[in-house]
Structure 1
Amino acid sequence: MRRALLFLPGAPAALFLLLPLLALPALAVAEGGWGAAWPPLGTSLALAGAAGALALILGGPAAFGLWRWRLPGRAALLGLLAAPLLLPATIWAAALRGLPLGPAGPVLAGALLGAPVVALCGWAALSRIDGSTLRAAAVLGAEPRLVWRRLVLPRALPGLGTGTLLAAALALAEPVLIPSLAPAGMPLLSRAMLDAVRNGSAGAAAATGTALLLLTVLLLLAAALLRRAGRRAAGG
């Protein structure tokens, strides 16, 4: 009972945030318009997967570097890593549109946004490793490869996986940077939703928005499960 009472002060804010999201699927069912959501679904999922994979390739080594080496000015480096998330998407769109990226532009843009998330999630997971455990393994003569495989990787992978899923979710729903770099004929859920809003098509906007909402929620749930697995692996 006491726990339930603790949530009461935040209930109005939660309702204010959730009611529009709950109304979106109802509007999609009432208005129809699901035909607008199916064509861009496969392209958006492929783009999100490719951007998440590239973000892992770029952000994974950065996570290990932040954890392993105590570099001077690490706070400034963390700020630099977070810059793609802090700066307005229009600035990145203007900068990247001047480069000959071609069809790879949307994937690279998604990786630009997602790599910092992977790096920070991986670094957070690695930071929970007890240094005394690593020192004890070294004193007992464990080979570095064995320590890496048995102690480091099992704790790092859930954090890196969480960051990859979050990066994919960012690429899936990003409404400005990625559509601005995508070729004119590339169907994307975010672009289809914005076009439907501009054209006044409530059914198509609600349907594409519902598809984006459901996919994002699924990715976030998977990320939360991986994060919990990482905590269990770290003993917390």
Structure 2
Amino acid sequence: MEAIRNIVVLTGAGVSAESGIDTFRSAGGLWEQHRVEDVATPDAFARDPDLVLRFYDMRRAAIQEKAPNPAHEALARLDREWPEKPGHDLLIVTQNVDDLHERAGAGRVLHMHGEHLKAWCTACSVRSPWRAPLIDRPPCPACGARALRPDVVWFGEMPYEMDRIYAALRRADLFVSIGTSGAVYPAAGFVRDARALGIRTLELNLERSQGSAWFDETRLGPAGKLVPAWVEELLAD
């Protein structure tokens, strides 16, 4: 078996769930109280911006009270210890819009669905770090327009940096999916792209996903246990 040099890791809601961040499908969380059509689409924002801004203000405040868990910390360790040199690379592509990967210490992170802790000005297109509420229509730090929205990819919008993700997949020796449902595209299709390229594929998940059949190997269990064990195994090899 050839040595692993280039790795693409995809993380989903199951990684942050153990930190207490409710997933889209979780019971009892903020998502259960709102329909997707009412808070997570461009049409919803145009129809009732106050509802959408209030919803994301709650989520932005909530994630700032959470802390990274052992899965985040293990991936941060992988980021620190995996070589950064020609022929070696690591990219952590996350569907999550929290900052727990970064707070754990990971640097090579790409947020394909945006970030709660950024605001996007629809007037000048500048994205600014943001921790405060948006409901009162604060001015954009760059241009002063009161045109800020959450820098989060809504249903019907194109995820960020897809060209960079596909370029990383083409170079990869290993694709690992952690805590994803396998139901949200285009991320759910990455395993098929990897298989078509002859890349080894591994799934770490609490339960089998809609895409499990496409992986070479699936390991089931909590991310907080599976991810540290896999990182330890990978670095030992």
TM-score by length of 2: 0.25
Greater per-residue helix proportion: 1
The normalised TM-score by structure 1 is 0.25
